[in-house]
A and B are shown apart, each in its own frame.
Chain A
């Protein structure tokens, strides 16, 4: 496949602004030379190693641990079990607001899932700690594992996801179905998936009296300081988290977990620094996952193929002791117009670790089912899948009637379809073959993701030499935050990005909000933008009140900051450099600060989403049923693009996650024991390079005056949505087989009568 099919990087250059330019990553050199330090790369003097021993059963009690044997192993310093674990100041069986989960930190001898920590061994070397943990030889009293729909305990949840209502109704759903001339109904299943960031969760903890420094990958610095402080009974300001680089997060590094807390506790107890890094297998339990769902979709259509009713039900799994329910059915709320929409969730408790937010929580699973259901409905109406979606295009938010802050989805459909060649799609399935005889199919799906905005703070310092330092405690887990945030700050400061130093990734800086929900660039970016403007305003104040300045008296007229100089707004020839202004004022710097949040009035008056359209081509071996994605074209509209190079990479990453959801990823539990049979990177399939086809991401321009003053929406998660359905629909178009269980597998095709 040619690589040249990728679109050239567009240049959304603002006049005199670096924002919109495809700069390469600021941290590029550090990352390609191995000098970027991730948490586990730290080695403070006197450091010990911690390794957790984890349960191999899903439910029951630990009845014995051979602590003697572990302690006798050379190099082992201490073994923590429920018998000697020092107290914590917060009850781990209580949730911690705003969205802390219950954690397993050796509070008792119960086992609630496989891979739960049941002891932690601390030793002088990693080898000794590992061997010590193996020597514990746990004995259990085993209770039957609840691993599926039949054995789990059903319940009606109060909330789903993070605080969303479990049921949302718009219009009269039964009246909607009564008015339909056609109704389609089907069940869909999505599997448990694990984040599997390449960097395992790790922490290096160092105590100094009642202060602790944590080198730890972290997506929510301020929040994590507060939560850790509560566990250790110290003020939040006594916790310093350093997270300059994260080796991927995808949601799993935003929430506290037991193993890290235990390692921090061990460091305090032993008064020595302690490092803990989970093994890959240990990441399948205590650090969250995407819960399994069973979904039912019922769609009613009128004569013209317009929806009269859209009913989405989801049964979502959680652990036996806490709740995070994938808000899957809510995927049906923002996208398609219908006089009646009903989204409902039910919970199912299993003996698994508590699920958590994983890249595009809810929308990934929900959109997978919805987009296939839309394809089936289009087929039932005899309509082209794209025409069917256009017939149901929502001009306002379907369930609220609110206007969208911006929505360039039509353009996404049009541009994506054009680039893909969608108009040449034969309507009938199983009608295309390539030159080698493979079955070829084309499918599409709509992508959507919300635009949250987290409160954030920032500081901008203009320095005597005319450069600037900008600061906010943000997180770069690969999205390119260090680069994009510096571009936003540079624009506000009227400087080149090279003249702007960005400090971030450490909790002692102003709160940069949460790197999650695809809201980080907008949230931390707006804070930096405002801090930059504040610094410029203070600088302008110095100049316009100084009779010696060419800008004297321009206070009411205003000044423009550009290329390191302030210019009179009405006479651009009168200007002065930042350095000159500061020098004459005898100042070494001028500091601007800002707090930023979304304006609640604007927020409540508008529905805010990023949108996109994804088109997929698959090829299927007619004999073996093997499926390959040959092409993916995505067109996305997500407000203003700060750095098209990085944004394109985010879309690519999301689309690859979509391909992974559609065809690869699934954690498989042994029904008898609850053990995950593929808890490693060989058997839990994530795409490798050869699985990834030619990708094309089109960046559709979109001006959004409401979403926030910098017009930025989110791009990190939307790429998964739409892609999953597009691929599954392409498999149907290639083969005539409709698979409603993810991932779509060879066996789903070859056992089907239609395939033969």
Chain B
């Protein structure tokens, strides 16, 4: 296969350092995760940066992994939905999505949750639902679970702020 220059990159994925031989320079981060590493929790809804289903954290920032070439990420630290829970202990955002029925089919959910995690950790969420609706609008949910999503993000942000205060004290 002629395009097969062997290109090797290093990534830390969900805390695990990996040396990855890329078989093709065209591979996006999304297709690397899903089709090569079989981390299929991250979803493909459009492959065009229009739906947010593929959202992951790269060096703590939210990105659409379908728009990012894997080859350009050498050295990056990546968190996917699989890396969020601590063993069987769900991340507060995950737990809040269940409690508030923030999903139906679940296909947009990994992306919604990663966006919410990014939003909260950037200190952007706040406690105004209008603001959360606006900032979560890069993630489409065709099932229309938006009310639950907004409630879940509000609660998780409150919960995490509480924890931070306790940790600081």
Main secondary structure of the interface of A (DSSP, over half): loop
Instruction: Say whether B80 faces chain A, with CB atoms less than 8 Å apart.
Output: yes
Cross-interface CB contact of B35 among A3, A125, A692, cutoff 8 Å: A125
Instruction: Say whether A680 faces chain B, with CB atoms less than 8 Å apart.
Output: yes
Known contacts A652-B144, A681-B46; A127/B26 CB under 8 A: yes
Cα(A125)–Cα(B44), bound, Å: 16
Main secondary structure of the interface of B (DSSP, over half): loop
Instruction: Say whether A84 faces chain B, with CB atoms less than 8 Å apart.
Output: no
Known contacts A41-B40, A652-B147; A32/B109 CB under 8 A: yes
Q: Which residues of A contact B (CB under 8 A)?
A: 1-3, 6, 24-25, 27-38, 40-41, 43, 49, 74-75, 124-128, 131, 196-200, 245-250, 277, 279-280, 477-480, 645-646, 648-650, 652-657, 680-682, 686-692, 695
Instruction: Say whether B90 faces chain A, with CB atoms less than 8 Å apart.
Output: yes
Indicate if the CB atoms of A38 and B129 lie closer than 8 Å. no
0/1 string, B85-111, CB within 8 A of A gives 1? 100001000110111010111111110
Known contacts A245-B105, A280-B46; A1/B35 CB under 8 A: no
Cα(A69)–Cα(B74), bound, Å: 33
Cα(A652)–Cα(B31), bound, Å: 33
0/1 string, B121-132, CB within 8 A of A gives 1? 000000001101
Residues of chain A within 8 A of B130, CB atoms compared: 1
| Nearest CB on A from B102, distance (A) | 9
| Nearest CB on A from B7, distance (A) | 13
Indicate if the CB atoms of A32 and B90 lie closer than 8 Å. yes
Residues of chain B within 8 A of A2, CB atoms compared: 129
Indicate if the CB atoms of B41 and A35 lie closer than 8 Å. yes
Cross-interface CB contact of A74 among B3, B84, B136, cutoff 8 Å: B3
| Nearest CB on A from B48, distance (A) | 6
Indicate if the CB atoms of B144 and A280 lie closer than 8 Å. no
Q: How many A-B residue pairs have CB under 8 A?
A: 200
Residues of chain B within 8 A of A477, CB atoms compared: 104-105
Cross-interface CB contact of A681 among B45, B105, B133, cutoff 8 Å: B45
Residues of chain A within 8 A of B46, CB atoms compared: 280, 680-681
Residues of chain B within 8 A of A36, CB atoms compared: 106
Give B30-54 interface residues, CB cut-off 8 Å to A: 31, 34-35, 38-48, 50-51, 53
0/1 string, B68-93, CB within 8 A of A gives 1? 00000000000011101100001000
| Nearest CB on A from B85, distance (A) | 6
Indicate if the CB atoms of A686 and B142 lie closer than 8 Å. yes
Which residue of chain A is the closest to B84 with respect to CB atoms? A33
Indicate if the CB atoms of B141 and A198 lie closer than 8 Å. yes
Instruction: Say whether B137 faces chain A, with CB atoms less than 8 Å apart.
Output: yes
Known contacts A33-B90, A125-B24; A199/B43 CB under 8 A: yes
Give B1-34 interface residues, CB cut-off 8 Å to A: 1-4, 23-24, 26-27, 31, 34
Indicate if the CB atoms of B129 and A199 lie closer than 8 Å. no
Cα(A126)–Cα(B34), bound, Å: 11
Known contacts A279-B47, A681-B45; A28/B151 CB under 8 A: no
Indicate if the CB atoms of B151 and A245 lie closer than 8 Å. no
Cross-interface CB contact of B40 among A37, A75, A126, A655, cutoff 8 Å: A37
Cα(A247)–Cα(B44), bound, Å: 11
Q: Output the residue of B44, B98, B137, B144 with the most chain A CB within 10 A.
A: B144
Known contacts A3-B151, A43-B38, A277-B44; A199/B98 CB under 8 A: no
Cross-interface CB contact of A34 among B51, B82, B108, cutoff 8 Å: B82
Which residue of chain A is the closest to B105 with respect to CB atoms? A478
| Nearest CB on B from A527, distance (A) | 23
Q: Output the residue of A31, A35, A38, A648 with the most chain B CB within 10 A.
A: A31
Question: Besides the contacts A248-B143, A650-B104, what 13 more A-B pairs have beta carbons closer than 8 Å?
Answer: A38-B107, A49-B35, A125-B23, A199-B105, A247-B106, A280-B48, A652-B146, A654-B144, A656-B146, A681-B51, A682-B50, A688-B140, A689-B132
